[in-house]
Amino acid sequence: MNTLKKEKKEKDKKKDDKKKDKKKNKTFHLIEERDMTPGIQILKTPLSEKDVLYTIKIVFVGDPCTLDDRKKLLWGYYHNHQSQVLKDLGTTMKDVRIDGFNGRISMTLYDNNINRATSYFPFSGVHGVFLVYRNDDDMSFRHVYNWLSEARRFCNKENVFAYVIGIFPNEESINQIPKERKAILHLMKMKTFNYCPGKEELFDEFINEMVCSIRKINFRDDILEVQWEKRLFESGQYKKQKKGFIPIQSELENSQRKQMERDPYRRLINQEVDRGFTYTIRLIFCGDEITQTQARRLAIGLLNGFDQPIKNIPNLDNLATTYREIDNKFLKIRAVGYDLNYKRGLQYSPFINALGSIIFFDYTNEDSFKHLPIWVKESYKGNLSEMSLFICGLNKTSDQRKITETEVINYLDSFPLQKKPIHCDYEEKNNKEFTQIFKNYVNTIRRKVFKKNYLTMVEREMIAKERIGTIKSSEMIESSKLTPENFKEDEKEEGCNIQ
């Protein structure tokens, strides 16, 4: 018995000694040596998805006449201008290393042939936009600013790089650019590149410079460094984190990005410098051309007051804006006018991130009433499920009236109860009554979407992003699943004073 015990003790000692030796000899090696050479390097071997720390998205846009030129530019940069352009060219990927961090460049073309009625959003998540025009086509140059405003509207990013590229047949035509065109390009305050055969290498350098600047601003070194360490941790080269660890900044940003995908209403909530926590109700004022002038004046009067004189109509993208403080938070109401001057070939959808649509028709014009179903259908093309309609009739007391009340009532009754729009006819004598109905309309939207508990939860997460460690990772994961539908609707209150 004693001999058996001695043998067991000896075996246990040997096992313990082996474990100690393993711990002493255990060392951590990097997955690969990082090349910290400044600038951009094109990688010959493609990266795996795990090794990609960032993706820079670039879109080439322009009128249909520039489609072939855009294909040449994109395919030339991808294949070093050595192969023929494919007929059906989709998204091209190029793996690069910028300042020591591995990433990917994604380039795509704006498809001008897609129908406007379809849901096509090539600008979502884009970091850079190339605005291409042809020197021999004046309309393509005039539409450059339209493409620029379109890109800035749907990119959902503060730092969007936009460059203008002119397509010329030779260098002589570049030297003969009219002074008016030079002045317009100067007013746009954007970098321009005049492309012609023989400038392929300069164009590649131009793109590389743009990509490097995008990487520095949109993907900071400290965040990429954290992602690199996280990659080492996943490979088993770092020790496991202790329970109850404080989430790092990049994890909070990733969780917020996932929350934005699950809950698009969080895009309407932000921290403004002057006011702090602010949530926005975006309202679109639309209708046929005969109602446009009065509709825009009504939008300004409802938000800024009918007492103030309106000399001219400002920018349609922001007709009027007003704020109201509710429970130490600010409600921002923004009125946007529908621009009928956009061509059908161009992508235009002001109903993105909109919660309300005020549709106007004229009692003296039958077409404006017949087109109401078209405007209703257009209103539901936004990305938010909550869309409240407000139908307003103009010139009801006119002698030339052609639409009867029964026709209006029958049309309103055709809606289901849950989606039935609010109806009110506007007359200059009853400004107060119309304003009160509009206030109640805004209040119903606010109570449906921006509920108190929901706003409190979002505010807590926004504070957690600024002050790391005020929220646990488990709570952050649970709250990311919550949307406005998970909260009860607030009790009815008195009409909000939006003026």
Answer yes or no: is pLDDT of 414 > 80.
yes
- Asked whether the beta carbons of 399 and 326 are under 8 A apart, the reply is no
- pLDDT top residue among 13 and 25: 13
Fold of 40-218: Rossmann fold (3.40.50)
Q: Which CATH superfamily is domain 269-449 in?
A: P-loop containing nucleotide triphosphate hydrolases (3.40.50.300)
- pLDDT top residue among 136 and 478: 136
User: Tens of pLDDT along 156-180?
Assistant: 555 578 889 999 988 888 888 888 8
Burial of residue 279 (number of CB atoms within 10 Å: 0-12, 13-18, 19+): buried
Domain boundaries, the chain: 40-218, 269-449
Return d(Cα 224, Cα 227) in angstroms, integer.
5
Answer yes or no: is pLDDT of 481 > 80.
no
- Is the pTM higher than 0.85? The answer reads no
The reply to whether 269-449 shares the fold of 40-218 is yes
Answer yes or no: is pLDDT of 246 > 80.
no
Answer yes or no: is pLDDT of 16 > 50.
yes
The mean pLDDT of 63-81, rounded to a whole number, is 82
Answer yes or no: is pLDDT of 359 > 90.
yes
Answer yes or no: is pLDDT of 31 > 50.
no
User: Tens of pLDDT along 297-351?
Assistant: 888 888 888 776 665 665 677 788 888 888 888 899 999 888 877 654 445 678 8
Angle between the 431-449 and 292-304 helix axes, to the nearest 10 degrees? 80
How far the first Cα of the chain sits from its last, in Å, is 95
Query: Can you give the pLDDT at residue 424?
Result: 92
The mean pLDDT of 104-117, rounded to a whole number, is 74
Query: Can you give the pLDDT at residue 10?
Result: 77
- Asked whether the beta carbons of 107 and 60 are under 8 A apart, the reply is yes
Percent of the chain whose pLDDT exceeds 90: 14
Residues in the chain, total: 499
Query: Can you give the pLDDT at residue 460?
Result: 79
Answer yes or no: is pLDDT of 97 > 60.
yes
Query: Can you give the pLDDT at residue 187?
Result: 77
Query: Can you give the pLDDT at residue 315?
Result: 65
Query: Can you give the pLDDT at residue 406?
Result: 92
Query: Can you give the pLDDT at residue 71?
Result: 85
- pLDDT top residue among 425 and 29: 425
Query: Can you give the pLDDT at residue 393?
Result: 93
Could you tell me how far CA 488 lies from the centroid of its own chain? Answer: 28
